Amino acid sequence: MSPPALRFVLGRQPHTLPGVPPDRTLLDLLRDDLHCTAVKEGCASGDCGACTVAMAEPAEGGGLRWRAINSCIRLAHSVDGRAVFTAEHIAGEGEPLHPAQQAMLTCHGSQCGFCTPGFVMSLFVLHRQRRGEPVTRDEALHALSGNLCRCTGYRPILDAATRMHHWPDVPLDESVLLQQLELLDQAGRGQVADLASNFYATPRTLAELLALRATHPQALIAAGTTDVGLWVTKQHRRFGQIIDVTRVAELRRTHRGDGVLSIGAAVPLSEAFEALAEDRPQLTAFFHRFAGLPVRESGTLGGNVANGSPIGDSMPLLIALGATLVLASTRGERTLPIEDFYLAYRKTRLAPDEVLARIDVPLPGAGEWLRADKISKRFEDDISAVCLAVALHVEGGVIQSARIGAGGVAAVPARATQTEAVLARQLCAEGTFDAAATVLEAEFEPLSDMRASSAYRRAVLGNLLRRGWQQSQPGALSLADLRCTP
């Protein structure tokens, strides 16, 4: 039997589509099934932005939450009960162009045109978020971080972003859209998947999720699918049984209490990073380098952690911050330090009937010294060759304790315990960091691969620690200062 019908709003029109395979991508659904050909496949990996679409869903405080997402690595069923817009849908029949479209036209932001619809959709979402107010160049750079263009050199596209408020908006009644989504949600709650065959299940509570996991331990757990989508598009793997955790209310929450920031496993990366940066604003520049904005809007912190990639950027930071993971099943909950979660390459301590429920991060205390940095071939929107995060507790100029997380240097995200021991109870001074950097360079034996050689990675580890000290000094350049902008 087939999965339940997929119900979503495309533009302003509700759609009900039966028989959509669980692992069909949103891009394939839009282009091949619904003939929305403005959305393009460029890289099929969420890297170039040609496939960018806008997604709207009800926000917790009322109204709509707009996101720009990559449709090439997003599973079609993940937009059930949500609204999707492509470049064909942002201006009605016979209406003037949307300001994002008109600005791109007027500012000569398109040449070959292949990437243009994706840029337009990122600008459309920015325009919705800003309610038509003027956009600065820095805001435009941030919003367009997931879009690549090989023709224009970006200047006219950025000009378009900063000028699109000059044109009148195309009317879009969000209250009507919210009503449509509510009706779809009510209809979707009544659907029952055939769990003996192929299915795409969307539990709404943690209890429902755990019951499903207990009876279907072989099913794929999916969240933002920024990695799962690659398994489909690049490795051509097929998944007939999928449990989507992004509708589980308990997994979508962040909470501060008892000295801990708790982040639900299904909280999007963009929101999780905002919550972490609220307590530690010095991490903002580091978070902006984590992929492009559409990936951060789709991917989840729990998905990044549970995936266990040794070059994932969030895990070294969470190791340095002393985060603990809460694993849940119908048998109850258990906690463990994040560095103890990983057993081998992409192998974790999750039992077959367990899910990652939340990540608990201690709130900053007095005397916290924190730096996170990475090296990649591109400064932004690129996977790390090496990532390093260092958290120190400093009192009276003396390092009382240290926690260091490293990525890209072992088969799993790693904690540098030898280097931590060298730093502890030493003066927080340049000489201390130099000595610790030498130990750090020898603590791991990384592999050589297409991103970097083993020797390079060891040298970079030490240099990142030294640079962390240098950037902490008055008048030093920050990560943002190192960025090349048009």
3-state secondary structure the chain: CCCCCEEEEECCEEEEECCCCCCCEHHHHHHHHCCCCCCCCCCCCCCCCCCEEEEEEECCCCCEEEEEEECCCCEHHHHCCCEEECCCCCCCCCCCCCHHHHHHHHCCCCCCCCCHHHHHHHHHHHHHHCCCCCCCHHHHHHHCCCCCCCCCCCHHHHHHHHHHHHCCCCCCCHHHHHHHHHHHHHHHHCCCCCCCCCEEECCCCHHHHHHHHHHCCCCEEECCCCCHHHHHHCCCCCCCEEEECCCCHHHHCEEEECCEEEEECCCEHHHHHHHHHHHCHHHHHHHHCCCCHHHHHHCEHHHHHHHCCCCCCHHHHHHHCCCEEEEEECCEEEEEEHHHCEEECCEECCCCCCEEEEEEEECCCCCEEEEEEEECCCCCCCCCCEEEEEEEEEECCEEEEEEEEEECCCCCCEECHHHHHHHCCEECCHHHHHHHHHHHHHHCCCCCCCCCCHHHHHHHHHHHHHHHHHHCCCCCCCHHHHCCCC
- The token duo for 305 is 């952690």
Would the pLDDT of 381 be above 80? no
Mean pLDDT for all residues in the chain: 93
Q: Tell me the percentage of the chain whose pLDDT exceeds 70.
A: 96
Would the pLDDT of 269 be above 50? yes
Q: How far is CA 214 from the centre of its chain?
A: 27
Least confident of 307-316, 343-352, 468-477: 468-477
Query: What would the CATH number be for the domain defined by 99-166?
Result: 1.10.150.120
Once rounded to an integer, what is the mean pLDDT over residues 406-423?
Answer: 97
Q: Are strands 342-344 and 386-395 parallel, antiparallel or unpaired?
A: unpaired
Please check whether residue 3 is in contact with residue 21, taking contact to mean a CB–CB distance below 8 angstroms: yes
pLDDT in tens, 39-89: 999 999 999 999 999 999 999 888 999 999 999 999 999 999 999 999 999
pLDDT in tens, 12-27: 999 999 999 999 999 9
pLDDT score, position 481 = 53
pLDDT score, position 196 = 64
pLDDT score, position 485 = 39
pLDDT in tens, 81-94: 999 999 999 997 77
Residue in 49, 9, 45 with CA at minimum distance from that of residue 25: 45
Please check whether residue 268 is in contact with residue 295, taking contact to mean a CB–CB distance below 8 angstroms: no
pLDDT in tens, 104-138: 999 999 989 999 999 999 999 999 999 999 999 99
How would residue 335 be classed by pLDDT, with cut points 50, 70 and 90? Answer: very high
Would the pLDDT of 1 be above 60? no
pLDDT in tens, 132-191: 999 999 999 999 999 999 887 799 999 999 999 999 999 899 999 999 999 998 887 655
**Domain 6-88+173-244, CATH among 3.40.50.1220, 3.10.20.30, 3.40.50.11030, 3.90.1150.10:** 3.10.20.30
More confident residue, 368 or 4: 368
Amino acid identity of residue 247, one-letter, is R
> Edge-to-edge strand order for the sheet containing 254-257?
254-257, 260-264, 355-362, 324-329, 332-337
pLDDT in tens, 427-462: 999 999 999 999 999 999 999 998 899 999 999 999
Would the pLDDT of 484 be above 50? no
Helix 430-443 vs helix 454-471: crossing angle, to nearest 10: 160
Residue in 164, 126, 122, 130 with CA at minimum distance from that of residue 147: 122
Domain boundaries, the chain: 6-88+173-244, 99-166, 253-481
How would residue 383 be classed by pLDDT, with cut points 50, 70 and 90? Answer: confident
267/193 Cα distance (integer angstroms)? 25
Once rounded to an integer, what is the mean pLDDT over residues 265-276?
Answer: 98
Once rounded to an integer, what is the mean pLDDT over residues 261-278?
Answer: 98
125/384 Cα distance (integer angstroms)? 28
Q: Tell me the percentage of the chain whose pLDDT exceeds 90.
A: 88
CA distances, 101 to each of 9, 39, 42, 449 (Å) = 21, 14, 20, 42
**Domain 253-481, CATH among 3.90.340.10, 3.30.390.50, 2.70.98.10, 3.90.320.10:** 3.30.390.50
Once rounded to an integer, what is the mean pLDDT over residues 212-230?
Answer: 96
pTM of the entire predicted model: 0.93
